[in-house]
Structure 1
Amino acid sequence: MAKTIRFNAFQMNTLGHQSPGLWTHPRDNSHRYTDPQHWTELARLLEAGRFDAIFLADVLGVYDVYQGGLDAALHHGVQVPLNDPLALVPLMAQATSHLGFGVTCALTYEHPYSFARRLSTLDHLTGGRIGWNIVTGYLDSAARNLGLERQLGHDERYDLADEYLDVVYKLWEKSWDDDAVVNDKAAGVYADPVRVHPIKHAGRYYKVPGIHLCEPSPQRTPLLYQAGTSPRGTAFAARHAECTFVSGPSKAVVKRYADALRAAVRADGRDGEQLLIYAQALIVTGATGAQAQAKYEEYRRHVDIEAALTLLSGWTGVDFSRFPLDATIDYIDSDAGRSALASFSQADPNRKWTVREAAEFIGIGGRGPVLVGDAAQVADQLEAWMDDTGIDGFNLAFAVAHESMRDVVEHIVPELQRRGRYRRDYEDGALRHKLFGQGARLPERHPGRRVRIAD
């Protein structure tokens, strides 16, 4: 039986996101990112389109690798200025009933004790619709502004992350018993102290002796997203992730990532098919194929090559201002984003991407494919990507806000529904239940449920 196709909306609390330069398009309204209605309008639109979630990317630094400074990022509005994604969630939750919220938070720079409280609070306020995209960070500029000379090495960041997850699991899953909250007004007892436990964590990176400050939220542990595809990132995802995001310019690259992730999950003792994999993509569509193609060509005229290279330099740690535009890209190992350049070099073994070609490619939609056509043509492409790669859905970037998402909801969703490849309504319940149909809590076999606290 063919899989149901799933959509997330890939967004960021900033001027633009994955399409550098497209904020200059006359129909784009990204400049409204500081307006609450910008986000509530989007949330209602996505819920009408039965999207799984809005996925909010984030960084804590600026893209200052290109030309060795931040002038290009500021000049072109490359993910700066940038506001906090978590503050958007209560706004959008009040405007919707089912839409999930995946928020990116870099654990490297925030203590797990206070972070656990923030996520529990959001899980309460959304009625169990919060997810956490676990990232370790990749910008040295973020590390410097948080008191470090530079970020930790790539693999050490994941070592720290493993312990971080142990701490938050203990806080979310083990500190409060299910029946700890009594709420007995007659007896004057709100919580039974015997059923609330200090976690007594003492590890290499963290010491957290006390209790979780929040009573259990609907999911306790938020739905867990992760996006690493390096060997160390894949191992981390195999242990922790329930949903993953992959980015690649070809089916071959995406299939390689998907196969490796499922194999790693199975090796870790979990069901590989229970991992939901979303591939990044951007859809350009219209009432006819000709209209869609004309819109795509219109978008391409707003691609900013220097802005795209500023973004790519930040992702990879490689200053692309040092290379001619016709120079070829080869895989360069760095502590920033190991998969960013690899995805280009592996896309087609017989092709060498030039710097200009890579910039033009990521200029609309980042490192994923751009699918262009009328509803039937795009639906055919979506089905082919699903069936040929083994993914579960798409993390949809946008070219023009909110035009790109509106086009998907108005044209693509009804076509997929007619084909029986897209849901017609939401299930009730928490985000985890909506996606997996097995209740709000982490599965019993997940390491977050098996973690132990000292007696």
Structure 2
Amino acid sequence: MPQEIRLNAFDMNCVGHIQQGLWRHPRDQSSRHGELQYWMDYAKKLEAGLFDGLFLADVVGVYDVYGGNADASLRGAVQVPANDPLMIVPAMAAVTKHLGFGVTCNLTYEQPFLFARRMSTLDHLTGGRIGWNIVTGYLDSAARAIGIDHQLAHDDRYDLADEYMSLVYKLWEGSWADDAVLNDREKGVYASPSRVRAIHHRGAQYKVDAMHLCAPSPQRTPVLYQAGSSTRGRQFAATHAECVFVNGQKKEGIREIVGDIRARAAQYGRSASDVNVFMGATLVIGRTDAEARDKLEDYRRYVSSEAALAHAAASLGIDFSRYDIDEPVDTQKSQAIVSNVEAMTRTAGPQWTRRKLLEQMVLGSRQTPWVGSAQSIADLMMAWVEETGIGGFNLSRTVVPECFDDVVDLLIPVLQERGAYKTAYRDGTYREKLFGHARLPESHPAAQYRGGFGQDL
């Protein structure tokens, strides 16, 4: 029996997300991202296709590495303007019942006490369908936006993140007992003081003396996503993440990352089933292979090379405008997304150039699209799942909404016929649908903060 494939739509509350320039396509509707109805219709479409979730990316700075300014990003709508992803979730939750929502929030610039309350609030409002994509950031422009000259070094950001996680775990898992809320109208007691405790955290970065302001939400801790594939990122994922997002490359590379993260997780007492891996993929689907190729050529007419380089420059931490087209690029000092630099080096060799980078950007990103009929794409997806150990895919949008119409109308029926995709949602929270339990398991490090009520933590 084939493994059930999980699917997330991968998007961002902006115009140009990953495939740079495709917002210009006459059928693309991403410029409506400021309209609530756009997102409500989007969510209903994904739920009709039994998608597991909508995975929302975010950045809190602008892409200003290319040319030393943000001009190219502004011209090409390269993730700017970008609206807050959390604000659109309640509206989408109101018109759906099962769809999960993975939202990206940068912990480096989020005060943990207030952030913990926002996520608990969303977990309540969605009925337990919220997830958090944990990121530490990679843009100096984001650091400057809050008064810091530049971002922390790559590994230092993860050290800060480990402390941040312990603090929000204490708030989510350790402040309120499950039976703290009595709602006793006769006795006039809403919550039992003996079942709520204050958190006293003293760490290198954070100090908190407070109880969590929210009563326990359906999941307590949101489903935890993380996208780091560098050596330090894998260590963090093995410790904390339930779902890991990796970028596609060769199968052996993905298989190695999946195996390494799960082996590291086992060292922390976690099981392989505690960690699910989603691979990023871009699909161009037709009723036939020829129709899909025609659609790809139509899309390619709208790709922006300048916008693609502006996006790549920021995520790789390299100003490509300083290099001639065939001049070897120096990658040694990047403090951006280290795993992106490593992946590019594996693909293009140790001395890669702007030309080699642009050759990969078929649709305005470094993610090479899969192009073919629904049957051909189903073959690819099933082979990747079987041969690499991933559990599913984050599907990046191209021309929206038609790219997801094609998945729902053409691809999913084929996967269902092959027994590789669900035919109905399971009941329960986001975590229950993904893992079979509503709360984090006892093997997760957050579990250490449960119990012992009546004592401060």
Q: For each residue in 1:139-174, what CA deviation from the matched residue of structure 2 results, as whole angstroms up to 9, or x when unmatched?
A: 000000101111111111111111111110000001
Distance (whole Å) between structure 1 residues aligned to residue 357 and residue 345 of structure 2: 10
Q: For each residue in 1:58-87, what CA deviation from the matched residue of structure 2 results, as whole angstroms up to 9, or x when unmatched?
A: 000000000000111101110000100000
Report deviation, 1:331: 4.7
Distance (whole Å) between structure 2 residues aligned to residue 233 and residue 409 of structure 1: 33
Q: For each residue in 1:167-193, what CA deviation from the matched residue of structure 2 results, as whole angstroms up to 9, or x when unmatched?
A: 100000010011100000111111111
Is 157-166 or 252-261 further displaced after alignment? 252-261
1:402 corresponds to which residue?
401
Name the SS of the counterpart of 1:34 in structure 2: coil
Identity of aligned residues (%): 54
Name the SS of the counterpart of 1:284 in structure 2: strand
Distance (whole Å) between structure 2 residues aligned to residue 357 and residue 415 of structure 1: 35
Distance (whole Å) between structure 2 residues aligned to residue 134 and residue 24 of structure 1: 31
The answer (yes or no) to whether the contact 1:18–1:362 under 8 Å persists in 2 is no
Cα distance change of structure 1 residues 215 and 293 upon mapping to structure 2, 3 Å threshold? same
2:230 corresponds to which residue?
230
- The one-letter code sitting in structure 2 at the alignment partner of 1:445 is S
TM-score, normalization by structure 2: 0.96
TM-score, normalization by structure 1: 0.96
1:142 aligns with 2:156: no
Alignment of 1:27-42 (within 5 A): 27-42=27-42
Q: CA RMSD in A?
A: 1.6
Is 356-365 or 29-38 further displaced after alignment? 356-365
The answer (yes or no) to whether the contact 2:323–2:329 under 8 Å persists in 1 is no
Distance (whole Å) between structure 1 residues aligned to residue 325 and residue 249 of structure 2: 19
2:425 corresponds to which residue?
426
Alignment of 1:365-380 (within 5 A): 366-380=365-379
Distance (whole Å) between structure 2 residues aligned to residue 28 and residue 241 of structure 1: 34
The answer (yes or no) to whether the contact 1:285–1:373 under 8 Å persists in 2 is yes
1:440 aligns with 2:404: no
Report deviation, 1:444: 1.0
Distance (whole Å) between structure 1 residues aligned to residue 274 and residue 175 of structure 2: 27
Is 340-349 or 313-322 further displaced after alignment? 340-349
The answer (yes or no) to whether the contact 2:135–2:227 under 8 Å persists in 1 is yes
Distance (whole Å) between structure 2 residues aligned to residue 304 and residue 257 of structure 1: 31
**Which 4+ stretches in 1 moved above 4 angstroms?**
328-331, 452-455
1:9 corresponds to which residue?
9
The answer (yes or no) to whether the contact 1:247–1:367 under 8 Å persists in 2 is no
Name the SS of the counterpart of 1:147 in structure 2: coil
Could you tell me which runs of 5 or more consecutive residues in structure 2 were left unpaired when the two chains were aligned: none
Alignment of 1:41-52 (within 5 A): 41-52=41-52
1:411 aligns with 2:410: yes
Paired residues, number: 453
2:159 corresponds to which residue?
159
Alignment of 1:25-424 (within 5 A): 25-328=25-328, 331-347=331-347, 353-362=352-361, 364=363, 366-424=365-423
Cα distance change of structure 1 residues 302 and 250 upon mapping to structure 2, 3 Å threshold? farther
Report deviation, 1:357: 3.6
The answer (yes or no) to whether the contact 2:132–2:222 under 8 Å persists in 1 is yes
Distance (whole Å) between structure 2 residues aligned to residue 29 and residue 159 of structure 1: 40
Distance (whole Å) between structure 1 residues aligned to residue 364 and residue 222 of structure 2: 27
The answer (yes or no) to whether the contact 1:278–1:392 under 8 Å persists in 2 is yes
